[in-house]
Amino acid sequence: METKTNSIGIDKKPKDTTVIVAMSGGVDSSTVAGMMKKEGYKVIGVTLKLYDDTKETAHSKQCCAGQDIMDAKRVANKLNIDHKILYYQNKFKEGVIDNFVESYLKGETPVPCIQCNKTVKFNDLFNESKNLKADALITGHYVKSVTEKNITNMYRAIDENRDQSYFLFNTTREQLNYLRFPLGGLLKSETRKIAQDLDLNVADKPDSQDICFVPNGDYVSVIKKLRPESLQKGNIKNTDGKILGVHDGIINFTIGQRRGIKIAAKDPLYVIDINPEKNEIIVGSREDLIKKEITLKDINLLCDEKVFDKEIFVKVRSTGKLIKSKLKLDNDKGKLRLLDEEYGISPGQACVFYTKDKVGDKVLGGGWIAKD
């Protein structure tokens, strides 16, 4: 008798399917664990301890803090599922925090959530799930996934305000075929309703808002603590090379920034370039921030290169719109021509590729924005 494919696209009955649910202690991952348990899957919850708590992180709206680990444990007990805590502080510092600091020192604007997904979550946790003989690794990301014939493709979530596909472009094909994202077809309000119906104590828990290891969004204090020598005064220049003022350290600035320049001018000034070699900030007009071409590096593809013979859509920041573009590939590098101009594109950010099909906005991969 032929086995019917279950709700996560695997040819097994739920009771014969073991799934690892990455549980951060928030409402999304807790709801996913509850959904899987209710459907009859064999669920193992895994929570990552990524950094040591401080007085600041204990009271901030962040994920993976000490209180979150306790919340995840309570949810697991409520659902009567196995629960493990993996202590990844060293892996997280090496793979995410150190990269974050170095990126700012190079005049870039990093996206640590992507690095976290690439290293700790979808590498180390992926391997741990395989070691536990699980059939799939399931997360609470708002990404739509469609699995057919053991091949999983990733799409933007139904709730575009919650869509997290931008942060997952670096997922490999092997990882994507193993991952599942049950919340991609739900609105956040629907997720909370499911959590309430499951009587989970985190149903009304506020969303995490900050970068997990950056208390209250103050990233400069984190860099200052780890690299105190990074706050060196330098010149602020205009596009003609004229010195307009002095800054207290390039880590205080990102491309497109207007506040904090502290220079009186007839028209508003924006940071248009950061030169770490000379320790200089270059300022100019908003028009100077316009970009039509982008250089990309470390490109990760989830599709055949032939797709790029045609126009695609890209996002150049997590909250940005889809921009029609044309990509020219050169191994893991590329030149992207934007067919609609965009302002304030910063090196260190990700550029994620999409195409539209009958299911929705399909993720094709992406790359890191490099200095021209």
Q: What's the chain's Rg over C-alpha atoms? A: 22
Based on the number of CB atoms within 10 Å of its own CB, is 118 exposed (0-12), middle (13-18) or buried (19 or more)? Answer: buried
Q: What is the pLDDT of residue 3?
A: 60
Q: What is the pLDDT of residue 64?
A: 58
CA distance readout (Å), 160 to 166, 186, 235, 315: 11, 10, 41, 13
Per the CB < 8 A criterion, the answer to whether 141 and 163 are in contact is no
Phi and psi angles of residue 366, each rounded to the nearest 5 degrees, phi first: 170, -175
Of 64, 113, 116, 351, the active-site residue reads 116
Reduced to 3 states (helix: H, G, I; strand: E, B; else coil), residue 307 is: helix
CA–CA separation, 206 vs 203, rounded Å? 9
Q: What is the pLDDT of residue 61?
A: 53
Q: What is the pLDDT of residue 213?
A: 86
Residues 6+ apart with CB under 8 A from 298: 332, 367, 368
CA–CA separation, 284 vs 281, rounded Å? 10
- DSSP labels for 194-257? HHHHTT-TTTTPPPP-S-TTSGGG-HHHHHHHH-GGG---EEEE-TT--EEEEES-GGG--TT-
Q: Which CATH number fits domain 14-217: 3.20.20.210, 3.40.50.300, 3.30.70.260, 3.40.50.620?
A: 3.40.50.620
Of 64, 212, 303, 351, the active-site residue reads 212
Q: Where are the domains of the chain?
A: 14-217, 231-284, 289-370
E strand or H helix that includes residue 246:
strand 243-247
- Residue 303 a catalytic site member: no
DSSP secondary structure letter of residue 88: -
Residue pLDDT tens, the chain, 372 long? 456 789 998 999 999 999 999 999 999 999 999 999 999 999 999 999 998 765 444 554 556 567 889 999 999 999 999 999 999 999 999 999 999 999 999 999 999 999 999 999 988 999 999 999 999 999 999 999 888 877 889 999 999 999 999 999 999 999 999 999 999 999 999 999 999 999 999 999 988 767 888 877 889 999 999 998 889 999 999 999 999 999 999 999 999 999 999 998 899 999 999 999 999 999 999 999 999 999 999 999 999 999 999 999 999 999 889 999 999 999 999 999 999 989 999 999 999 999 999 999 999 999 999 998
Superfamily of domain 231-284, CATH level 4: Adenine nucleotide alpha hydrolases-like domains (2.30.30.280)
Residue type at 81? Answer: I
Residues 6+ apart with CB under 8 A from 295: 333, 334, 335, 336, 369, 370, 371, 372
Phi-psi region of 236 (alpha: psi -120 to 50; beta: other; left: phi over 0): beta
CATH topology assigned to domain 289-370: Elongation Factor Tu (Ef-tu); domain 3 (2.40.30)
- Residue 113 a catalytic site member: no
Q: How far is CA 255 from the centre of its chain?
A: 19
- Residues belonging to the chain: 372
CA terminus-to-terminus distance, the chain: 59
CA atoms within a 13 Å half-sphere pointing along the CA-CB vector of 354: 24
CA–CA separation, 48 vs 271, rounded Å? 37
Q: What is the pLDDT of residue 211?
A: 82
Reduced to 3 states (helix: H, G, I; strand: E, B; else coil), residue 22 is: strand
Stated pTM of the model: 0.92
CA–CA separation, 179 vs 168, rounded Å? 11
Phi and psi angles of residue 71, each rounded to the nearest 5 degrees, phi first: -65, -40
Based on the number of CB atoms within 10 Å of its own CB, is 370 exposed (0-12), middle (13-18) or buried (19 or more)? Answer: middle
Q: What is the pLDDT of residue 20?
A: 98
Closest CA to 184 of 213, 158, 148, 223: 158
E strand or H helix that includes residue 275:
strand 270-275
Q: What is the pLDDT of residue 2?
A: 55
